[in-house]
């Protein structure tokens, strides 16, 4: 049996801005671990930036230069997060699209969650 090669979109690009890919068969190699670490750092930085931007947007003393700078960094962070989501999404297994497939954990007589009668009153 010949192993299949999967490509992974890496969390960095070429100096020209083109995407970089890694051809790998299992995702446990050195470069995959480096990419995982960089993605983790990028996601952490995006979270910190989001908190800072939330504070800045609600600050009536924030200058237009401060807001413009925060928006530029937020745009960069969103681009990184989207690249991570695209990379991870591309590595998910294909869903089973069999319309006749039955979920063994699903009760066919269950019509969803039930709330007490006074829940909205």
Convert the pLDDT of each residue in 16-67 to its tens digit.
Answer: 999 999 987 677 889 999 999 999 999 999 999 999 999 999 999 999 999 9
For residue 114, the model assigns a pLDDT of 61
pLDDT of 101 > 70? The answer is no
pLDDT band, very low/low/confident/very high, at 3 (cuts 50, 70, 90): very low
Higher pLDDT, 21 or 93: 21
pLDDT of 108 > 70? The answer is no
Give, in order, the Cα–Cα distances in Å from 26 to each of 19, 48, 90: 20, 32, 14
Number of H helices, E strands in the chain: 2, 2
For residue 2, the model assigns a pLDDT of 39
Higher pLDDT, 39 or 89: 39
- E strand spans, the chain: 6-13, 19-24
Q: Look at the block and give the residue holding tokens 């969390």.
A: 11
Contacts of 74 (CB under 8 A, 6+ apart): 49, 50, 53
Is the alpha carbon torsion for 23, 29, 33, 38 positive or negative?
Answer: negative
Give the whole-angstrom CA distance, residue 23 versus residue 72.
Answer: 32
For residue 12, the model assigns a pLDDT of 93
Percent of the chain surpassing pLDDT 70: 75
For residue 7, the model assigns a pLDDT of 87
């Amino acid at each position: 049996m010949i192993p299949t090669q999967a490509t992974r979109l890496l969390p960095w690009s070429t100096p020209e801005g083109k995407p970089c890919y890694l051809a790998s068969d299992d995702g446990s190699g050195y470069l995959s671990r480096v990419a995982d670490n960089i993605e983790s750092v990028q996601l952490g930085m995006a979270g910190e930036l989001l908190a800072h931007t939330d504070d800045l947007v609600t600050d009536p003393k924030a200058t237009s230069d401060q807001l413009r700078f925060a928006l530029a960094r937020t745009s960069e962070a969103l681009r990184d997060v989207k690249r991570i989501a695209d990379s991870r999404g591309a590595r998910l297994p294909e869903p089973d699209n069999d319309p006749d497939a039955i979920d063994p954990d699903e009760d066919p007589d269950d019509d969803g969650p039930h709330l007490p009668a006074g829940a909205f009153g």
